[in-house]
A and B are shown apart, each in its own frame.
Chain A
Amino acid sequence: MRHIISVLMENEAGALARVVGLFAQRGYNIESLNVAPTDDATLSRLTLVTKGEDRVVEQITKHLNKLIDVVKLVDLTEGSHIERELMMVKVRATGAQREEVKRTCDIFRGQIIDVTPTTYTIQVTGNEEKVNAFMDALSGATIMEVVRTGVSGLARGDKTLSL
């Protein structure tokens, strides 16, 4: 089962290494991970996606909570939540392909953010599923490079992960 764990932690040197080290030491997997400071510069928000049996994920959250730098965390997938990922993809865009790629991009409400006579760089945001679907839809085109941020998310409604 896929889980999105969102962690609020001290914005200190070494804090990220502790989280990543924990996953490596205990053999847990990380599908994606991103981290950046929040509106409060002393805090970082880290979001990671992991897959595992409930029992393993429970251990993951317990061990994350034990890290001294971790202030709070939430498993977003336990409740209703919003998740987004940003992808940038550079594709070969020449001849008939040029129009086709543009159409696909529009369908997915993507934006072309860089253009050359032979390439497009497209930005797509959405949940993991949509981003994957866009990649599949591009399968006819020549993909030159892909970069994804990994999933970020928060709970719907009034619920927040804050101090």
Chain B
Amino acid sequence: MTQAAHEPEMLSGGEMLIRSLKDQGVEFIYGYPGGAVLHIYDAIHNQSDVKHILVRHEQAATHMADAYARASGKAGVVLVTSGPGATNAITGIATAYMDSIPMVVITGQVMSHLLGDDAFQETDMMGLSRPIVKHNMSVRDPADIPTIVKKAFYIAESGRPGPVVIDIPKDMTMPNEKFPYEYPDRIKMRSYNPVKKGHSGQIRKAVNALLQAKRPIIYSGGGVILGKASKELTQLAQQLNYPVTNTLMGLGAYPGTDRQFVGMLGMHGSYEANMTMHNADLILAIGARFDDRVTNNPAKFCPDATIIHIDIDPASISKIIQADIPIVGPVKPVLKEMLEQIEQSKLRVDDETLGLWWEQIDEWRQRHGGHYRSDDSEKMKPQHVIQTLCKVTKGDAYICSDVGQHQMFAAQYYQYNKPNRWINSGGLGTMGFGLPAAMGVQLNYPDAAVVCVTGEGSIQMNIQELATCKQYQLPVKILCLNNGYLGMVRQWQDMNYESRYSNSYVDSLPDFVALAEAYGHAGILIESPDELEAKLTEAMAITDRVVFIDVQIDPHEHVYPMQVPGGSMADMFLSKTERT
């Protein structure tokens, strides 16, 4: 043992913060310096274990940290200054909160004695962030910093994950005030004890219902990915031979190329997924929250279905749709116990009845099955672009999406066979998420193919990060489905506002190829479907810099299916002329 173990090292608040992050195993933090955090930045400068990534706008720092968390399952870390630094981080914190992503956001604050005096760059970050964090803490004594950091990671990563904010007044980090440093091994809190397993009696009830179902479906969400239960989900589904649908957040939890996968469900879900849900007599919901983008009108939701709902958060159960058999617990141990109980049960799945159900599902698959009009070969169809991307990347890239039509196409037409590969802002729908998200993934997985699927609207919300890509040599691919419109807005205006395109036309677009080159990157323009595959292949082969791929797509394409507002899950528009 070293002497340090007996006599703790004396460190300043700023040094303790950085040392705590190191001891927590943090490799990268994403941030932007400013007055209130200068002592902390000085502490960063004096060590080399924790590396700081300088973004060009604080929002990008939060999305980088968030995407790292989505890809790795570990909390990402953000460091920003007080006032505008903190408020710029708000959108990213809310994005993480809505999708239950673990993140630790450290915000600077004015000196304690100035708090409440409207000091320069003061903003009440505790108050501002309260509704969009799992928890927030303010440092009142520098000696508490190691414990507070440990607590922040514990809260962010355990239970239903979420962002945690630590607000640090500048005087808590004074370089000349030293304190004994010790990083706690673990933390125990009397007021926070996340549930570790499900109730066995409830699981038994669920298994009985599950094995007696005639028209079952498994509806799995982001919770399966957060709960690292993809393997158990796949095993359960394949053992039972039941159809599986994934939510937008759950894509990749079950292999997208498998026969039992009926596609994404919901507003832009596949015809067969929505039909299977609507006609099911049993729904096994796993780590999904019956979001309004899934259920359509709750009053008309799946009228015949018994609902089993597994979720770690009791507040998600029976919030929108009443669960018949609720199971509160982490999905992984619950699914494991389910598998054991199925093994021991005397009940067996009736293959004949299930066969009839599959016949019906296959018929639905035949009827629509992700078809889109491709008769007009002159025009580049966005669906075809995504399918080609999937082919060129062998379905194995990290796809980091922005928000809009391209996001839905990337969800529908890329086949995700692994969890943590599809990274998008599902709950908050944050435009500008895609590029920083791709950067966060690329930094942590330098050898992986990382593609930001975006549109010419979304990409301009954080395009300044092309400079960060250059500084840290992050060779992400930016696939911009450029239709010259805010496509999803325009689609709604087509469908509900008699095509009055109020402010959905993006005029004065930059020359993206030239712009990419100006930042020191590569740019490729794709105008015709004939050159699509060759140019995409060429783009993917460039691995030493960013490639901005500007794809000129059919400006009038819509995302289908689309649920009819106020209807059931089975009420869908299937094309511009067809509805169920």
- A62–B191 CB distance below 8 A: no
- A9–B313 CB distance below 8 A: no
Given A13-B138, A17-B130, residue A63 in contact with residue B315 (CB < 8 A)? yes
- B130–A21 CB distance below 8 A: yes
Measured CA separation A65–B126 after assembly (Å): 20
Which of B126, B155, B192 is the one whose CB lies under 8 Å from A14? B126
Which of A14, A17, A18, A62 is the one whose CB lies under 8 Å from B315? A62
Given A21-B131, A55-B318, A59-B315, residue A69 in contact with residue B126 (CB < 8 A)? no
> Which B residues from 178 to 218 make CB contacts under 8 A with A?
189-192
Give the total of B residues in contact with A, Cβ under 8 Å.
Answer: 18
B137 to chain A, nearest CB (A): 9
Interface of A, helix, strand, loop or mixed by DSSP: helix
Measured CA separation A103–B511 after assembly (Å): 88
Residues of A within 8 A of B134 (CB): 68
- A66–B315 CB distance below 8 A: yes
- A69–B314 CB distance below 8 A: no
Give the total of A residues in contact with B, Cβ under 8 Å.
Answer: 20
> Which B residues from 114 to 135 make CB contacts under 8 A with A?
126-127, 130-131, 134-135
Given A10-B191, A68-B135, residue A17 in contact with residue B127 (CB < 8 A)? yes
Measured CA separation A163–B193 after assembly (Å): 13
B424 to chain A, nearest CB (A): 25
Q: Is A31 an interface residue (CB 8 A)?
A: no
Contact string, B303-331, partner A, CB cutoff 8 A, digits 1/0?
Answer: 00000000001110011000000000000
Measured CA separation A71–B193 after assembly (Å): 10
Residues of A within 8 A of B136 (CB): 14
Contact string, A68-79, partner B, CB cutoff 8 A, digits 1/0?
Answer: 111100000000
Q: Is A25 an interface residue (CB 8 A)?
A: yes
> Which A residues from 8 to 66 make CB contacts under 8 A with B?
9-10, 13-14, 17-18, 21, 25, 55, 58-59, 62-63, 65-66
Residues of B within 8 A of A25 (CB): 131
Given A55-B318, A62-B315, residue A68 in contact with residue B190 (CB < 8 A)? no
Residues of A within 8 A of B126 (CB): 14
- A163–B190 CB distance below 8 A: yes
Measured CA separation A71–B127 after assembly (Å): 21
Residues of A within 8 A of B192 (CB): 68
Residues of A within 8 A of B138 (CB): 13-14
Measured CA separation A14–B127 after assembly (Å): 9
A118 to chain B, nearest CB (A): 42
> Which B residues from 122 to 167 make CB contacts under 8 A with A?
126-127, 130-131, 134-136, 138, 155
A1 to chain B, nearest CB (A): 17
A42 to chain B, nearest CB (A): 9
Q: Which residue of A lies closest to B132 (CB)?
A: A25
Q: Which residue of B lies closest to A62 (CB)?
A: B315
B75 to chain A, nearest CB (A): 15
A90 to chain B, nearest CB (A): 34
Measured CA separation A17–B133 after assembly (Å): 14
Which of B130, B155, B189, B318 is the one whose CB lies under 8 Å from A18? B130
- B315–A71 CB distance below 8 A: no
- Which one of A59, A62, A163 has the greatest number of beta carbons of chain B within 10 Å? A62
Measured CA separation A62–B319 after assembly (Å): 10
Measured CA separation A10–B151 after assembly (Å): 15
Q: Which residue of B lies closest to A42 (CB)?
A: B190
Given A14-B138, A18-B130, A21-B131, residue A68 in contact with residue B155 (CB < 8 A)? yes
> Which B residues from 273 to 330 make CB contacts under 8 A with A?
313-315, 318-319
Measured CA separation A57–B138 after assembly (Å): 31
Residues of A within 8 A of B127 (CB): 17
Given A13-B138, A55-B318, A58-B318, residue A69 in contact with residue B191 (CB < 8 A)? yes
Residues of B within 8 A of A10 (CB): 191
B381 to chain A, nearest CB (A): 42
Measured CA separation A69–B192 after assembly (Å): 8
B470 to chain A, nearest CB (A): 40
Residues of B within 8 A of A69 (CB): 191
Measured CA separation A55–B131 after assembly (Å): 22
- B191–A59 CB distance below 8 A: no
Given A55-B318, A163-B190, residue A66 in contact with residue B131 (CB < 8 A)? no
Residues of B within 8 A of A18 (CB): 130
B150 to chain A, nearest CB (A): 14
Residues of A within 8 A of B313 (CB): 66
- B319–A59 CB distance below 8 A: yes
Which of A9, A21, A55, A63 is the one whose CB lies under 8 Å from B191? A9
Measured CA separation A66–B135 after assembly (Å): 10
Residues of B within 8 A of A68 (CB): 134-135, 155, 189, 191-192
Residues of A within 8 A of B155 (CB): 68
Measured CA separation A55–B320 after assembly (Å): 10
- Which one of B127, B130, B315, B318 has the greatest number of beta carbons of chain A within 10 Å? B315
A24 to chain B, nearest CB (A): 9
Measured CA separation A69–B137 after assembly (Å): 11
Residues of B within 8 A of A66 (CB): 313, 315
B329 to chain A, nearest CB (A): 15
Residues of B within 8 A of A9 (CB): 191
Residues of A within 8 A of B319 (CB): 59
Measured CA separation A18–B131 after assembly (Å): 8
Residues of B within 8 A of A13 (CB): 138
A-B contact pairs, 14 of them (CB 8 A): A13-B138, A17-B130, A18-B130, A21-B130, A21-B131, A59-B315, A59-B319, A62-B314, A65-B314, A65-B315, A66-B313, A66-B315, A69-B191, A71-B191
- Mark A residues whose CB is within 8 Å of B: 9-10, 13-14, 17-18, 21, 25, 55, 58-59, 62-63, 65-66, 68-71, 163
What would 19 more interface pairs be, CB under 8 Å, given A17-B127, A66-B315?
A9-B191, A10-B191, A14-B136, A14-B138, A17-B130, A55-B318, A58-B318, A59-B315, A62-B315, A63-B315, A65-B314, A65-B315, A68-B135, A68-B189, A68-B191, A68-B192, A70-B191, A71-B191, A163-B190
Top 5 nearest A-B pairs by Cβ distance?
A62-B315, A68-B135, A71-B191, A62-B314, A25-B131
